[in-house]
Amino acid sequence: MRTTYPHRAVPLCAAGILFQMANAGPARAELVGQWLFDEGSGTTYADSSPAGNDAYIPAADSGWLDEAPPTAFANESSYQFNGSTTYVETSYGGIGGDSARTVAFWVKVSTVTAHGLVAWGDSVTNGAKWHLRLNNAAGNGPVGAIRTETQGDFTIGTTPLADGQWHHVASVYPGGGELGTVIHYVDGVAELAGGNNASTQAVNTNNTTADPVTVGRRTQGAADNYFDGAMDDVRIYDRALSDVEVAALFDGAAPPTDGLVLYYDFEEGTGDTVADAGTGMNDGAVLGVGAPAFPVWSDDAPPGFSHSLEFLGGDMLFTDYIGVGGSTSRSVTFWFKTTSAADNGIVAWGDSTGSGLKWHARINSNAADGPLGALRVEIQDGRAVATTPANDGGWHHGAIVFEEDLDPDITDVVFYLDGEPDDLFLATSVPINTLTPGGLQAVTLGGRVQGANRVPWLGNLADVRIYDTGLTQAEVQTIMAGGGAGGGGLRMVDIAYDPGAGEATFTWSSRPGRFYVIQTSTDGAPPWDEVDDAYPAAADAETTSFTVGGLGPGTPRMLFRVGESEE
């Protein structure tokens, strides 16, 4: 239990009996995160709140993983492709013409796009490419099933693979014929027909003047399609493997080596080269692992500040603060400046995969939901959008406030723009139950993590704050003016004494949903006697009262103090 008490007492007299009530709650007790972005230089983004959760940009992720699929042979590492820049480039042209071939690999993936797993050839001329990927078109076959395509046609397996688990996949082409003769295998078992398995497209792969073999990316025309997931044990054979041989790739201790023309075991675990453990002639280069893109310091700042931080659509800032969870009251406030109406994030945390489990504050980028550029908060499946666009290139102060009640719902959100209430334009009724697992789902600034995607902010930010209470308009205006309003420290409002009844009632400022510890003493020396350790705040008022009995004539001086408790 945490209880906060003040450092002074206020004496009051009532009918000859002296009461003193401790005024509880320091002014900033409920400020749980504040990032001013006023440093002006460097790569430290300090948290000015008592929590001290400075923001940072992680080092560039190299992609190497200390995990591997469950092979029967020694295997300690794999490679995670980031879905946007990383892939393995080779100078190997691949298998050409209509020659037999087998492509096999382990894959672990959760999302399906038009990515490439292993690819080579000419993506313009019909029949001239050889691309393996997962199917992302429901009209073609099962989404997430293995798909082998030449330019102009495709054939698809049966089993959806995007379940976040390791699977072994093989595509076997016997050669000399049509695309429809391909046999797909998943986890050592041949697949049934899943989509367009009767393709009569003639195979004539261009392996001399077209794109060489790539892993984790395929080039379709002018577009590069990157894979977001992990791969391991990538193999290309210049022959069609048998059922027994494919099964040995899946669970055998000694996979076949005859005809193995390229083999990446990804056992390096570090660096930017993957060695060809097959012929040894086709080493690959890991490309696309870039340095982090830091936001830049700007002298363009809101009133009262010298600097701001300008986000250019690159990396966002991360923190170790998990955020405010469950249906607890909260407020986020920030200065912002932008002209963009693209998808974005200002301050965000929580689980973006389950209904009501996240808390993402941003401006609206969906015209179907309301005015572009208006304040917006999302909780996954639920959202609230304000009325006034604010992406006009000027500085604005935004506040998004939620006060916990008996029915916590996104429709309870209150928006303030430049210190004034901004009406709800849209609110979809979904209960708030923010999940705070931390990690990539901890608080981010200048962007948000949505599923596997990182959605950046484009513009300037300053003085980003998080409170674990619902702020009033007056408090929002104090913050906007540069003050340190902190969610309403307790203050005594009234003490009333009824000598006939022998009762005293004292009243203090409070907030719904809070609990208070009430203690008494005759001399102020420790230990104080506890009267109540979880006295509930009034549900629908800004004050709470407590009555003490047994205070008839002759009662000596008594001291009372109230503090907010947090279990």
Which candidate, 256, 216, 254, places its Cα nearest to that of 240?
Answer: 256
Residue 2 has pLDDT above 70, yes or no: no
Q: Tokens 């013409």 identify what position?
A: 97
Q: Where are the domains positioned within the chain?
A: 2-26+489-566, 31-58+311-480, 64-287
Task: Assign 98 a pLDDT band (cuts: 50, 70, 90).
Answer: very high
Q: Tell me the whole-structure pTM to 2 decimals.
A: 0.55
322: left (phi over 0), alpha (psi -120 to 50) or beta: alpha
Q: Which residue has the higher pLDDT, 567 or 114?
A: 114
Highest mean predicted confidence (pLDDT) among 17-26, 59-68, 360-369, 485-494: 360-369
* DSSP run (H or E) holding 246: helix 243-251
15-24, 72-81, 82-91, 410-419 — which is least confidently predicted? 15-24
Q: Which residue has the higher pLDDT, 238 or 503?
A: 238
Please give the Cα distance from 515 to 73 (Å, whole number): 59
Omega prior to 142 cis, within 30 of 0: no
Please give the Cα distance from 490 to 234 (Å, whole number): 64
Highest mean predicted confidence (pLDDT) among 35-49, 252-266, 281-295: 252-266
Q: 554 CB contacts (<8 Å, ≥6 apart)?
A: none
Please give the Cα distance from 276 to 235 (Å, whole number): 9
* DSSP run (H or E) holding 473: helix 473-480
8 A C-beta contact, residue 508 and residue 564:
no
Please give the Cα distance from 375 to 369 (Å, whole number): 11
397: left (phi over 0), alpha (psi -120 to 50) or beta: beta
Please give the Cα distance from 27 to 8 (Å, whole number): 14
Q: Tokens 């945390």 identify what position?
A: 349
8 A C-beta contact, residue 286 and residue 272:
yes
According to CATH, the topology of domain 2-26+489-566 is: Immunoglobulin-like (2.60.40)
According to DSSP, the residues that pair with 114 across neighbouring strands are none
Task: Assign 488 a pLDDT band (cuts: 50, 70, 90).
Answer: very low
58-67, 210-219, 550-559 — which is least confidently predicted? 550-559
Q: Give pLDDT tens digits for 146-201.
A: 999 999 999 999 999 999 999 999 999 999 989 999 999 999 999 987 677 788 99
Q: What's phi and psi for 224, nearest 5 deg?
A: -100, 125
Please give the Cα distance from 467 to 307 (Å, whole number): 23
Whether CATH 2.60.120.200 fits 64-287: yes
Q: Which residue has the higher pLDDT, 42 or 260?
A: 260
Residue 523 has pLDDT above 70, yes or no: yes
Whether CATH 2.60.130.10 fits 31-58+311-480: no
Which candidate, 312, 275, 274, 272, places its Cα nearest to that of 288?
Answer: 272
* Percent of residues, the chain, with pLDDT higher than 70: 90
The per-residue pLDDT of the chain, averaged, comes to 88
Same fold, 2-26+489-566 and 64-287: no
Please give the Cα distance from 376 to 386 (Å, whole number): 6
Residue 14 has pLDDT above 50, yes or no: no
